[in-house]
Amino acid sequence: MESSRRARPASASTVPEDGAGRDAARDLTTTRASANSARVRTGRRTHAISESRQDRPHGLDARVRLRQRRRAHHPRNTGGARARGRAGDGARRQLLRHRAVVRRRRVRAQSRAGPEGPEGARAGRHEVPSGPARSARNPRAVARSLDQSLKRLALERVDLFQLHNRIESARGAGAVSLGDVLNEVVPAVQKLRQQGKVGFCGITALGETRALHQAIDSGTIDTAQVCYNLLNPSAGFAVPAGFPAQDFGGLLNRTRERRMGVIVIRVLAAGALSGVEARHPVAVPSVDPIATAPDYHTDVTRAQRLGALVREGHVENLIEASIRLAVSSDAVSTVLVGYSSLEHLEAAAAAVNRGPLPPAALQRLGALWSELA
């Protein structure tokens, strides 16, 4: 979580430190004073938007990718061949390490535990170090995952530690059960909190809707990453029967009642809301949707069917619309947005500055969502 008064997202090192970049960051901190941050249990103020690797429509800037690759393969940083094989996990943290050390007071750090390999890909995460679901529910594995992250970041403590596994009624591939979360993971993180290594405990709210509701209603979790966008607004809005996406059943209402911090993920549906299927040359070649269509092509097609919102003048584009939809909710603390250039960041900031979607736009969206069902 980031302090809206002082901090930028840890990964803001990808943004040039020129005047425009500083102005954009300043706009974000002043535009959304995080009215909900005073009442959420973390007590942290947050930026309206943060940076996401998974959701950028145009990929990571080539220079940043090259710098990551060089650091990932440098023996001084990797500690040998074993670490090089996990470059996606460690290199990113090592790339941030020097900034975390120099500007420690300005960064709110988070770490995570969850699936890797094919299981992680299905969950939409590829870089998480702790292994399959059986490891994520193992208290010792959870502690080991955190210690590895702390070492890479040269930190003694992270503000937020999140479980990225899907949560379901029973254990499965890449998924932990509700019992695992409440009886194993949460107590393990609470122990780490007592040791001073962790500030707060969070989950990624993916999996079976009923299990997610029960996890949130337990009152033992501080934050949740919630999938919320134009292609799946069910965390915040009732969707019509037959809507072609997972129904999260008003998840944001439950997080609000429990005073939880909410981090919106996939706000751009991994770039599908650009309405263009072609990927940028430096972007990940293919992206698996989360809680929307079974494939990226279908997500793009459905996004194009929402284009009336643009043609009728409600918004300039669907990316703006989806960001404004997310920040419209007072249950939302911050929105993870993918960007690979300063221009993308400024566009996201401009969307936030335009404020919530007006009632006419929301009414039109309701009709368009009904057409998708």
How many percent of the chain have pLDDT more than 70?
63
Contact (Cβ atoms closer than 8 angstroms) between residue 44 and residue 6: no
Task: Give residue 52's pLDDT.
Answer: 61
Which residues, 6 or more positions from 313, have their beta carbon under 8 angstroms from its beta carbon? Answer: none
Which residues, 6 or more positions from 82, have their beta carbon under 8 angstroms from its beta carbon? Answer: none
Which residues, 6 or more positions from 241, have their beta carbon under 8 angstroms from its beta carbon? Answer: 373
- Asked if residue 117 has pLDDT above 60, the reply is no
Task: Give residue 64's pLDDT.
Answer: 45
Reported as a single tens digit per residue, the pLDDT across 254-263 is 999 999 999 9
Strand partners, 216: none
Block residue for tokens 């090259």 = 66
- Asked if residue 313 has pLDDT above 60, the reply is yes
- What does the mean pLDDT of the chain come to? 76
Q: How confident is the model at residue 127 (pLDDT cuts 50, 70, 90)?
A: very low
How many percent of the chain have pLDDT more than 90?
53
Task: Give residue 284's pLDDT.
Answer: 76
Residue 236 CA to residue 243 CA, distance in Å, equals 14
Q: How confident is the model at residue 66 (pLDDT cuts 50, 70, 90)?
A: very low
Residue 238: count other Cβ atoms within 10 Å of its Cβ.
12
- Which domains are assigned to the chain? 10-67+88-372 (3.20.20.100)
Residue 197: count other Cβ atoms within 10 Å of its Cβ.
20
Contact (Cβ atoms closer than 8 angstroms) between residue 124 and residue 286: no
- Asked if residue 164 has pLDDT above 70, the reply is yes
Pairing of strands 334-337, 198-204: unpaired
Q: Which of 223, 217, 161 is nearest to 190 (CA)?
A: 161
Reported as a single tens digit per residue, the pLDDT across 221-242 is 999 999 999 999 999 999 999 9
- Asked if residue 38 has pLDDT above 80, the reply is no
Task: Give residue 71's pLDDT.
Answer: 52
